[in-house]
Amino acid sequence: MALGGGMYTVQNKVLPGAYINFVSAARASATLGDRGTAAFPLSLDWGPENEVVTIENSEFQKGSLALTGYAYTADELRPLREIFANAKTLHLFRLNSGGAKAACKYAEAKYPGKIGNELKIVIQQNEGFTVSTNEVYDVSTYIGTTLVDTQKAVKAVADLSDNDYLHWKGSEALTENAGLLLTGGTTGAVQDAAYQTFLDKIEPYSFNAVGCDTK
């Protein structure tokens, strides 16, 4: 016991007894910040199915197009903007499942959903190569009218790398075009069991609030 002996830091005490220093742990709220983490299931037109995706506020603002298929200011993202008005981190779960991936002869959409039908592939001859026996191309990916990826000086599909929107398939040679749309993408439906799947998937995660879309 310290009593009048003060804090025990080095072997310099003359009073007999046990010296016990009590140090309080930092409060949890001091490390959590002023916003916190939310968990939310939503019906979405783009994104992985049957899994939880963790998104930071700054990541959502900068990368909403790749994450959701919509620009940050789109009306479809209003629920997410409302969540991030008071949250720093979101554990997002896509409720709808069973949709189809849009596709064309060169590529397949990364995720199921009608957003895949907005994807377009533009193939143009690379200006640095003009000899027909050694043709190479620049391949650009658009979502709507927004350019999201360009890969230069490639000869065939096999030379292309997957991006945030497309999985390239096959190995055939490329042909110049003005724009090839992907087709056949469907969003899928929300089944009642999807909510239970969300609860099962979210169980290992830590969060401060959980919500549900009631519209």
Domain ranges of the chain: 35-98+189-210, 107-181
Q: Return the amino acid letter for 5.
A: G
Q: Which two tokens stand for residue 148?
A: 């999201």
pTM of the model: 0.77
Q: Which two tokens stand for residue 164?
A: 């945030």
- pLDDT of the residue at 28: 47
pLDDT tens, position by position, 189-215? 999 899 999 999 999 999 999 988 876
Q: Is pLDDT above 50 for 31?
A: no
Q: List strand residue ranges (DSSP E) for the chain, in order.
A: 37-42, 52-56, 89-94, 107-109, 119-125, 137-143, 146-154, 166-168, 180-181, 209-210
Q: Which of 61-65, 97-101, 125-129, 181-185 has the lowest mean pLDDT?
A: 125-129
Domain 35-98+189-210, what fold? Answer: Dna Ligase; domain 1 (3.30.1490)
- pLDDT of the residue at 75: 94
Query: What confidence category does residue 123 fall into, taking pLDDT thresholds of 50, 70 and 90?
Result: very high
Of residues 32 and 73, the one with the higher pLDDT is 73
- pLDDT of the residue at 78: 93
Architecture of the CATH domain 107-181: Sandwich (2.60)
- pLDDT of the residue at 1: 45
Whole-angstrom Cα distance, residue 132 to residue 175? 12
Phi and psi at residue 63, to the nearest 5°: -125, 25
Q: Is pLDDT above 80 for 10?
A: no
Q: Which two tokens stand for residue 195?
A: 């909510």
* Stretch 75-79: mean pLDDT: 93
Q: CB count, 10 Å around CB of 77? A: 20
How many CA atoms lie less than 13 Å away from 106 in the CB half-sphere?
26
- pLDDT of the residue at 8: 60
Mean pLDDT score across all residues of the chain: 87
Percent of the chain with pLDDT over 70: 84
Whole-angstrom Cα distance, residue 153 to residue 28? 53
pLDDT tens, position by position, 129-159? 655 556 889 999 999 999 999 999 998 999 9
